[in-house]
Each structure stands twice: as structure tokens, then as C-alpha cells.
Structure 1
Amino acid sequence: MMYSKIIGTGSYLPANRVTNQELAAQLAEKGIETSDEWIVSRSGISARHYAAPSEVSSDLAANAAKRALEMAGLNANQIDLIIVATSTPDHFGGFPSTACVVQRKLGITTECAAFDVQAVCSGFVYAVSIADSFIKSGMYKNALIIGAEVFSRIVDFNDRTTCVLFGDGAGAVVLSASSEPGVRAAKLHADGSHGDILCMPGTISNGALAGDAYMYMDGQAVFKLAVSVLEKVANEALELAGMQSSQIDWLIPHQANIRIMQGTAKKLGLPLDKMVVTVDQHGNTSAASIPLALDCAVRDGRVKKGQNVMMEGVGGGFTWGALLVTM
């Protein structure tokens, strides 16, 4: 039987690291009051990274991809599928896709397939699930899956309830055909009836913006929904894999809010020291957050070959999903 397996991870964070204190000082100049204590108590976030004015999602993605390829021991032209999960594509309207731009920036000359996935914070989970299906079918052998975001471009810095939460970054994995089990199970969900609680309400009409170009989030509604679905989807993935939560070595949830993350771990019966946490230093990097956290834990030696990792996230749409992977 053919499986797909993660053989390399990589990540990239922009150089501009902004602490809560620095952000609070910048917002104070606009007459907006916040503080390190206020941000940490509500989200667990202490710092985040912002892309330079010249950096776009494909730049972050390409840097993360190069590191994943290096770990995997592959050259770029061995990749036959690229999927980029992003809500902040390089081009308005999303074309050419950020994945195609990444293909060019990596110097890939083979005619590999390349496309973007838009499932907001669940995007990486969706993208890996898609690539896993392609690889198991025999259509592709080596897939590059990237989550990349520059959310600093779409948050309203006059709204302290959202602007303090998000950061920029990218994470990538190389998923390859293998005779050894890798992706054990994937479970995806969506419910469009909740689309208005986390959205970008603006539209384009006759070449001009109609409505608001900033993201909108009903924080309480998102929190409530996230708490209700994350435990359920993780258990669904475990059931598909024929495994128990006690077999999970590491939980890597979407890094949105430390309280949601801790609540999910407790509901799954996992000790908090089995959960990878990067939200404190990265903020919420949407589709990039799971692969960023995975790469950090692989490179610092926590996540090891043969261990079982549960990855899950929720995002606008409303979308949610979980992956159970043996590294």
C-alpha cells in the first residue's frame, strides 16, 4: 500500500519582530489603548513578526520551502505538486496563484502542478489532506505544501481586538510517497452558515473596492465554535486511524489562542507538555501557524521520527479539520 509521509519541514519568519510593548506604544500614538498584560491575558501572545513592505506571501513561502527541501534532501525540480494555503495571496483576485509564483521563485522548470487553497486558518490541514490523496492515488510523488500569510496587511490597526492577534510567517512540509505509514487520517469539515463571524467583507466592483478591505472577526463567536469542534474533529481522525488519544505524542493545534489550545488538549486527555506552543512568539499566523509550529518542534528535537502528531485548526468559512500523522 502507498502512503504519504512528511520527510522535510521548514519555516520562515520576517525579520521585524514586534513585542506587545512595542505594538502598544505604536497604537497609543493613534489613541488606541492596550497593554502587554491585556494581550497576554486574552490570547497568550507576547510577540509577532511583520513582513517588510517589499515582502509578499510568496517570498515567505519560498524561504520556508527551501528549508523544507534541504531537510528532505530533494532538489526543487523533484517536486511535482505545490499547494499553498493562504488568505493573503500575492495578487488581488488570487491569480496567478501564489503557488505558481513560488514555483518560479524556486526555479522549478518541470511542469509540476501548482495551486492555492483558501480555507483560512484550516488551510494547511486542507492542503495536506489534498496532497495525501493525490500521492496515494499515484498521481504525484513529491508534494510541497506551504502555509504562508501576511495578515499584517489585512488587519485594521484601529481595532485593538484583532490587530494585536495576528502575525506574518510561513511554514512548509515536503510530503512524499512512502511504503511506511505517514498521514494516518484526515478529517475535514465546513459550515458556510457561520461565514459572517470571520470574514473579509469587501468585494471588487468595476475595478474598485466595495465595502471594507479589512478582516472582521467576532471573537466570542469564533472562540465558542472553535472550542466545540476541535475536540470532535480530533476524535474523528483518531477513529479513522483506529487509534486512541493516548497514542498521540504531540498535539499541534492552530496557534490562535492559548485558552482554546489548552482547552482542546484537556478534552483529549493530553497533558499540556505534549502540546507544541508557538502562539506566544508568533501570534496567529493563520494557515502558516501549524507548519511553523511543526518545524520549530522538529528542529529543536521534540518531534521525532516515528512519533504520532495530531494537527488541527479552525478558520473562516467556517472550516475546520484534523490530521493524524506519524513522522
Structure 2
Amino acid sequence: MTQVKPFARIVGSGGFLPPRVVTNDDLAAELATRQIETSDQWITERTGIRQRHLADKGMTTSALATEAARRALADAGVEAGEVDLIIVATSTPDFVFPSTACLVQANLGNKGAAAFDVQAVCSGFVYALTTADSFIRAGRARCALIIGAEVFSSILDWSDRSTCVLFGDGAGAVVLKASDAPGILGAELHADGSQMNILCAAGNVAFGQVTGDPFLRMDGQAVFKQAVTVLDRSARTVTEQAGVALSEIDWLIPHQANLRILTFLAKKLDIPVEKVVITVDQHANTSAASIPLAFDVARRDGRIQPGQLVLMQGVGGGFTWGSVLVRM
């Protein structure tokens, strides 16, 4: 008798943001002490960002990830011991090794689950969710915890106005379980390493010293152009793969990088902006955490309902991108 492979469904979510809120006015005042000029108007008009949450020094990615994970598990009604796969998407791990996923596993009191990190920068959560889906579909896992978590403030050059105003810290998580009913309907991932220089943090630690440039650097115009092009194509591909029309999408959750990118993408896809979950104004760009944070916000405020179709899209340094289509 042929064994029927299970599907994977999202059964819970959680998010956690550092308690320190920094408004644009707060940030402008802080930067002014370093002779860097900016303002709430300058930041808002160019990015749509009004505030961000920043971790205090010493608050780690694993600490943020653990709290988001606990909230997701509680929401799903799942005990930590039931989880047999933990994936953390991050570009700001606590250590070179062990992985942040192993640190989260220890914090949760789980022993024995497979645990590893995924590094695809702002696309990391989409990469991690697709990977977990593949594990479940192959029968290699039954209950997965997928987390996007970042302390991006630790790799920002606070003298570079073009980047330091854009990012925030935080973590978001979902619980994925095997199911007889389809949950993740389609997914695709891509990368183009030849575009690495448009968004990178090209430093390294070697022989006890930092080599190269340890700070995030970005060509904003190039990132904008690439992002809207690849996300438009990816959305069309993954919906076609699932046999779903773009008009059937209930919610679009793109990576929260810049309000201009979000609205431009929605226009290209002919999706009403009212169907786009937007948190960039409150969270700024939290990299791998941005999609699960936005997803959790929209679930908890009642926008995302059972049975609805949700399209999640990531794009980031590498250059990486991808989409996941989910039936709630």
C-alpha cells in the first residue's frame, strides 16, 4: 500500500519586539549628537518608517527568538517537547557556533529535535519555512518551529544615514505541523550571487580580529529595482504552481523593507494595497523577522482568518528571494 505523504499547516504564531521603542524624532536627536542630519519627515517620506524597536546592548538574537518561539508554541497549544525540527533564520547569530537554533532549543528545554540556522538575510524566513515544509512532506518531521530573528542594530554603521535609519530588531515564529489537509500550497526559492555587492555585510572574524567591513552596506536604488522585479515574477510563478489566481489572494505579506517597495509591488500584481499587511511603519526592516512578525500581527488582530490564502515573499542580500503560498 502506498503511503500518503502528509501536508504541512501553520497552527500557531508568535512575535517579540525589544521593549525600547525609538521614534524617528528620537533617532534624529541621537544622530545629531554625531553631526548626522536627518528628521522624521526625511525618513518617513523615503521609507514609510515612523519608529523601530532596538535591542539594548547584551540582548541577543537567541533571547528574542526564544520569546517569539514560546508565544508561537502557546498559540498552537504545542509543548516544546513535541517539536522535532527547529530552524532559525538569522544574519545576526549569537555566535559563530553553536547555531542560534541550538541555543533556542536549550532555552525551550527541548532535547533531540534537529536544530540549525538558515542564512538568507531578509529572505531567510521564506527559505526556512520552505525547508521545514519539505521535511514534513518527506516524513522527516511532524512538528516544526520556524523562527526569524535579528539584532540588526549590531551590524549597522550609525554614521551612515542611508542605512542606519532603516532597520530594527525583533523576532517572529510559526509552528508547522503535519496534516492531512493542504496548508503550504506552493513555494519557490532563488538566489543570484553575482548581485552580492548591492546588499552585504562583508566583514569576518579571523585569527581573533575583524577583517573586511563588518557593517551593512546597501545600494538602495539597485535593491529597489531588483526587489520589485523578482518578487513580481516570483508571485506569479508560485500562484501558477498552486493553480491559484492572484486575484484570489486574501493577504500579501512581503518582506517589510520600504513602504515604496510594498505599494509598488502591490500595484504591479494588481493586488489592492488594503490586502497588503504593512508593519514597516512600526517595526522598520527587521530582516528575517519581518515576515513572521507581520504575519503574527495580522493573525492576532483578526485580519487573517482560517481558510484564507496568504502569500509571503522575501527578498534580501545574497541576492536572495522567494515566495510561499499558504492556506490557513
How does the TM-score come out when normalised to structure 1?
Answer: 0.98
Unaligned runs of 5+ residues in structure 2 are none
Amino acid corresponding to residue 150 of structure 2 in structure 1? E
Tell me the equivalent position of 2:149.
Answer: 148
Tell me the equivalent position of 1:82.
Answer: 86
The SS at the match of 2:62 is helix
The alpha-carbon deviation at position 143 of structure 1 amounts to 0.2
Tell me the equivalent position of 1:183.
Answer: 184
The SS at the match of 1:21 is helix
The SS at the match of 1:22 is helix
Amino acid corresponding to residue 274 of structure 2 in structure 1? D
The alpha-carbon deviation at position 211 of structure 1 amounts to 1.8
Tell me the equivalent position of 1:105.
Answer: 107
Residue correspondence of structure 1 range 206-285 to structure 2 within 5 A: 206-285=207-286
Deviation by residue 1:273-292 (Cα, 9 ceiling, x = unmatched): 00000000000000000000
* Amino-acid identity (%): 61
The SS at the match of 1:302 is coil
Q: Distance in 2 between matches of 1:48 and 1:274?
A: 23
Q: Distance in 1 between matches of 2:254 and 2:42?
A: 23
Amino acid corresponding to residue 239 of structure 2 in structure 1? L
The SS at the match of 1:108 is coil
1:73 equivalent to 2:74? Answer: no
How does the TM-score come out when normalised to structure 2?
Answer: 0.98
Tell me the equivalent position of 1:118.
Answer: 119
Report how many residues are paired. Answer: 324
Q: Distance in 2 between matches of 1:211 and 1:325?
A: 40
The alpha-carbon deviation at position 104 of structure 1 amounts to 0.3
For 2:27, which of 12, 23, 28 is the aligned residue?
Answer: 23
Tell me the equivalent position of 1:198.
Answer: 199
The SS at the match of 2:135 is helix
1:308 equivalent to 2:309? Answer: yes
Amino acid corresponding to residue 264 of structure 2 in structure 1? G
Q: Distance in 2 between matches of 1:9 and 1:139?
A: 22
Give the root-mean-square deviation of aligned CA atoms: 0.7
Q: Distance in 2 between matches of 1:274 and 1:107?
A: 38
Tell me the equivalent position of 2:66.
Answer: 62
Amino acid corresponding to residue 18 of structure 1 in structure 2? V
Deviation by residue 1:8-42 (Cα, 9 ceiling, x = unmatched): 00000000000000000000010000000110111
The SS at the match of 2:156 is coil
Deviation by residue 1:243-277 (Cα, 9 ceiling, x = unmatched): 10011000000000011111111111111100000
The SS at the match of 2:321 is strand
1:318 equivalent to 2:322? Answer: no
Q: Distance in 1 between matches of 2:158 and 2:105?
A: 33
Amino acid corresponding to residue 3 of structure 1 in structure 2? F
Q: Distance in 2 between matches of 1:54 and 1:317?
A: 27
The SS at the match of 1:140 is coil
